[in-house]
Amino acid sequence: MRNTLYIILGPLLGTCCAFLLHYFNAPRHAGIVGGMAIWMCVWWFTECLSIAVTAWIPLIILPLFGISKMSDLARHYSDSIIFLFLGGFMLAFAIEKWGFHLRCALWIISKTGTQPERILAGVMLSAFCISNWISNTATAVMLLSAVLALIDVLKPFLKESKNAFAPALLLGLAFSATIGGMATPVGTPPNMYFYKLYAQHFSQQQALTFNTWMCIGYPISISLLVVCYIVLYIYFLQNTSQLSGHEAALKLHMQALGPMRKEEKRVFAVLVFAILLWITRSDLQFGTLKCSGWSSLLPLAEAVDDGWVALIIALLLFIIPAPSKPGERLLHWEDAKSLRYDVILMFGSGFALAYAFEVSTLSTWIASAILHLTSAPNWILIAGACLLVTLISEFASNIASIQLMIPVLVSLLPFLNILPLQLLWPACFAASLGFMLPIATAANTLVFGTRQIILRDMLRIGLLLDLFGILIILLFTHILN
């Protein structure tokens, strides 16, 4: 009965939102897309229907009202980052199939200890450090199998609190991978976009070097990482019972693994190869020192991305033989039958929704709201910009949100008594504050696909982190001023 009420409530609230936006002079198509977004959020948050069913809504609504062709929408359900998601899961399946994830998990336990709060800190710190230099999605892909193995190994010893341990670790992995990207100019696409744009147009007014970025990027990201850890600890692990009877069992686990098998070594070699390809694909610039990526050797460097690398890695796993089982490969298609196609559809709907925000001019209409703040104090203007960028990045990709907002903010600069860096930089950091929804980042989608996270938990924790993130950005912006 409750699910039926939620099914009705979704389109009802969506319709009300569409009329409300129209009342505030939003374009007709913008109102429809805004209402559709609310409708989808209600169904996602309440889980009254499968997330895959909710993901179909853009394919139905947008062509119906003439906002987009079906063929244009369908392309967004096969975005290249979805192939990064697919390839990442193939790598995770191979790691799990040959037991290498258990070896990784036991190694992590040997370094962090067996208490849940220390393991959470170890996972988050690892993801944070790696994602300083490569994408948050690639970071989450690398560590996911080890985190899942940690959950499987320790769950039997956590008694009544075992259901809180899995979401804490998985959300910690996704969120810290996203937070880590804020620390350096190469950590995430919005940073690279803004770093290049600022150097081209504003470097004469106030220099922004690689070291300058890290001087403010690391304090912001480390502060947010600490807040994230505290929130996850209080929400999930505060009342976690102490482990009992685990020492002997973990010792048996280690003995049962024995030395690394040839299959494990080959899977490990493929994993290392993937990491190297992801790290060295694009050019890396450290101040005046520039290291060219391997993609620059290709006829068209922009033709390949992290999704392409993931497909190459998946192909290798299907080709490389397993020595101990003649005729068998490291991975067979049967091994991938547990792939979460519903989550893939959900992720695709996020790209479709972002596209709808653009073609309906809803994003532009939302961004134009900041024009009303030009007479307000600078900190209110900066807070408004951060809030709008964060809101858009929950539904659209972080690079799309910053590409939309930066031109709007740049157009406001002649009317403001503020340096470009003081307004644009906080907006760039805010683009990485997508913590509430699975569609906000690929890392969120990846961990949500494990079926061990309740959407309401992600929403509540994500909202807190978004708000704390904006406050931290404003604080350090004030220090910068």
Q: List residues bridging with 284 in a β-sheet.
A: 291
DSSP code per residue over 151-190: HHHHGGGSGGGHHHHHHHHHHHHHHHHHHHTTSSTTSSHH
Tokens of 62: 């947008």
Distance CA 401, CA 212 (A): 24
Distance CA 277, CA 73 (A): 31
Residue 196: closest CA among 266, 285, 123: 285
Which runs of consecutive H residues, i.e. helices, occur in 26-113? 28-46, 51-54, 57-64, 70-76, 80-97, 100-112
pLDDT at residue number 262 = 86
Distance CA 229, CA 470 (A): 17
Which residues, other chains included, contact 450 with Cβ-Cβ below 8 Å and sequence gap of 6+? 144, 148, 166, 170
pLDDT at residue number 200 = 66
Distance CA 396, CA 86 (A): 20
Using a 10 angstrom Cβ sphere, with 0-12 exposed, 13-18 middle and 19 or more buried, the burial of residue 64 is exposed
Q: Please report where in the chains the tokens 């007479």 appear, as a residue.
A: 375
Tokens of 127: 């993801």
pLDDT at residue number 162 = 61
Four-point Cα dihedral 114, 118, 124, 126, nearest 10: -70
Compute φ and ψ for 89, nearest 5 degrees. -70, -35
Distance CA 119, CA 151 (A): 10
| Contact status, residue 88 vs residue 137, Cβ threshold 8 Å | yes
pLDDT at residue number 384 = 82
Residue 405: closest CA among 183, 200, 197, 217: 197
| Contact status, residue 147 vs residue 177, Cβ threshold 8 Å | no
Distance CA 377, CA 381 (A): 7
pLDDT at residue number 332 = 86
pLDDT in tens, the chain (481 residues): 677 888 888 899 999 999 998 888 888 998 999 899 889 888 877 778 887 888 889 999 999 999 989 988 888 888 777 787 788 778 878 877 887 777 776 777 667 766 788 888 888 888 888 788 777 777 787 778 778 877 877 776 666 556 788 889 899 999 998 898 888 776 777 777 777 777 766 666 666 666 777 788 888 999 999 999 999 999 888 776 565 555 555 666 666 667 778 888 888 898 888 878 877 777 666 556 667 778 777 888 778 877 888 889 889 999 999 888 887 888 888 877 777 777 778 778 877 887 887 788 887 787 676 666 666 777 788 888 888 888 877 876 676 677 667 767 776 777 777 777 778 888 888 888 888 888 778 788 888 878 888 888 888 999 999 999 999 988 887 776 6
pLDDT at residue number 225 = 94
Q: What is the CA radius of gyration of the chain?
A: 23
Residue 296: closest CA among 317, 311, 282: 282
pLDDT at residue number 476 = 84
Q: How many CB atoms sit inside 10 A of residue 1's CB?
A: 4
pLDDT at residue number 285 = 61
Residue 176: closest CA among 118, 119, 222, 225: 225
Distance CA 305, CA 296 (A): 12
Distance CA 94, CA 184 (A): 32
Q: Please report where in the chains the tokens 């230099």 appear, as a residue.
A: 133
Distance CA 184, CA 135 (A): 11
